[in-house]
Structure 1
Amino acid sequence: MVEIHRYGHSLEDTVSELLRTYGRRALTCLFRAILQIVMAFAVNLPLFILAVLSVAFIPLGVGVVLTPVVFQAIRTVADQQRAWAAEWSAVTIPVPYRPEPAGAAGPLRRLGRLLADPASWRDLLWTILNVPVALVLGVLAGGLAVYGLEGVLLAPWLALISDYGWGPFWPVEDWGAAGIAGSVVLGAALVVVGGPVGPFFLKAHALFGQSLLAPTRAALAARVEQLAESRSETVDASAAELRRIERDLHDGAQARLVALSMNIGLAEEMMKHDPEMAAKLLAEARESSGTALTELRDLVRGIHPPVLAERGLDGAVRALALTLPLPVDMHIDLPGRPEAPVESAAYFAVAEMLANVVKHSGARRAWLQIEHSGGRLIMIIGDDGTGGADPAAGSGMRGIERRLAAFDGTMAVTSPPGGPTVVTMELPCALSSPRTSPSSGTA
């Protein structure tokens, strides 16, 4: 008897837990469905109307300022939909927007970039189509279970005390024991079906959003082609870098070490017969060893500077600026450190640009700004030189583009004749090891 009591108590707990779990899932699904409907009617529909009006007002001048604001609001709502789709239905919707260049841009240029992005118009189409789709799928996602609960808990008892009837299945005058039983049975069936089916309709809504808010196949194909090209360029750049290292070792440190070995061998032979000559050979060997050590250190710094590993991008760039023959105004605001490969790519890109300033610009002063914003490392290098820098004509800038492209980075050059030259480089990355205070100054 004790065992039966324990088994019955365990079964009761199990059923109770199942009911609680089912109830939580049903309520969660209902809440999400209602949220989607409210978002569609209270946010999407007004934004669509504002977007249409703002575009229509562009010739009047008002739309030039209003349209970017409205479309940015639509992007914010679309990003929220992407987050919900991933969290609620495990549907990933990549962001398709073209990256915006760093720095301030005029209203007309900003408007032109926004309207030229196909993703902006797909967002606008989703904004209006989401209104009926969210309503239908939201009602199906949350309404079945609610309607079933109404049939189980409310309709039968209201029918006993009023003229209330539940649906077209049992008219009021036919209600009785059979009507109440039918209401309970059908309502329970809707509750049982509505619970598991609700997430299915939520996922259908997420897939609908994915069809409009994700990048198109043409965009994905272009992206794949771009990545293939950048990978090929990165492989070529890596092979060229390896050849440079081999050449520097062969022509520099290796040749000096061979000469060092020969001098030491000759000194050993001359030690008994001509000590003075042996001493001269040993002195030359000592000098050659020091030169070889210096060349090896320079080679190591060219691969990965120790100061970069020890002090990060901030400290390494500052140490580099101190070696330049012209003053460099710097503002560096990095609340952490990028991953080592990204940090190395950023350092060498800055180093190459500063070397170009010294060699080719004729500048008397340069400035440098490095900051992290919106998940991107932004580096801006400028000088007051003669201008006329062309990435297509210089292998140095082309090499920087290849180095940045390997990390999905970009580079933009503004260099009119007469100057100034401003180079903006961006690298998508996350930072770690946060710190609190930005740094600035002049080197």
Structure 2
Amino acid sequence: MDSIAFSPLLERVRRSRPAATRQIVSHPQAITAVAVYFSRAGAPMYAHEKVTLSAVAESIARLSSYQYAGVFDANKHSTGELFLVPDDTLMLDEARSLGIHSPCQLYGAVVPYPFAKTKVITHRLINTDAARPSGWSATFAENVCNAVLPGYTVFEVEGARTAAMRLLSRGPVRIKEPLGDGGHGQTVVRTIAELNALLERLATEKIASHGLVLEANLRRVTTRSVGCTMVGDRAIAYHGTQRSVTNNHGLSVYGGSHLICVRGGWAELEDLPMDPQARLAVAQARTYDRSTASFPGFLASRRNYDVGQGLDARGHWRSGVLEASWRSGGASTAELAALTAFARDSALQVVKATSVKRFGRLRNPPPGAVIHFEGDDPEEGPLLRYTMVTRALRHVA
């Protein structure tokens, strides 16, 4: 691996604190195997997503020297012996029924309310009397308001119109459906007429149940990934960028992440040299992350944040957290590849890991790539998913 690209980091990393000691919680001694868990409220998954989820679970099993138990089966498995890799963020009551009380028991997160796992928490309501679900945290929304883009969350149609009128005075507005991911379920509107046309296509009951996000639209956008991941007593933190690709249906969607991963946690990440834009993204992600304390019972071993940076309608550069991903996601294979590299070589301090999703005619992946899916997804069409680890900085005694 190439260490030249990271050579300025050497002295700072050598002087840094022991890796992630502030975030470590010991493995529960009873765990012997890793299993994929399909949650009660999990959204339908594409075939390639299910295959990749299994690959993540198998990677965790190898990393932790556990057995891989396949898909969780309550008739065969004792939850106290399993480390679970859920398909989605778990609700608190479901996690408790599974005996989960520590981030060392799962790869993912636990939240107390269904809305708390979606992007609706990112923005404030339009006023103090606005409709909201039970458990809504005004404190969270206030705490993150300076770390996100201008926007609102609404749970009723008239609220959407009010929010849009406020935002449209400053330019186009991006409308986001909370359950959409990977770039799906988003529409940019420039007039109230366009908003009304969109609202007519959305079920009122769906808006009332799941909410709707209205946010200032950016152009020439760079989406950054910032996160911290823990598997047992191993932890990494990272920053990087995402790439967008055109899928087989002609839509712009998530196509992978390029991550710079450091052994340790948030403090070790902040010790890395990075450009001002990346440093701001890290600071905003940390603000968002700290604010999760507003939700009772919240716990997470994977904390991943998308930060959008670009120009608003007036040409002003803006930066803000777009949403969180606390479940296994597109960058998970890169995170696990980095964790595995660190486990294999105790001298490694920084690695670059890349997850890639390619649509269309299948091409050979680069040498050294670990392939997770290659073939025709029944819904997504021809698709290739792979991960690579390149470049490294080793500790020099």
* TM surpasses 0.5: no
Q: TM-score, normalised by structure 2?
A: 0.23
> Which protein has the bigger strand share?
2
Q: Which structure's relative contact order is higher, taking Cα pairs within 8 Å and 6+ residues apart?
A: 2
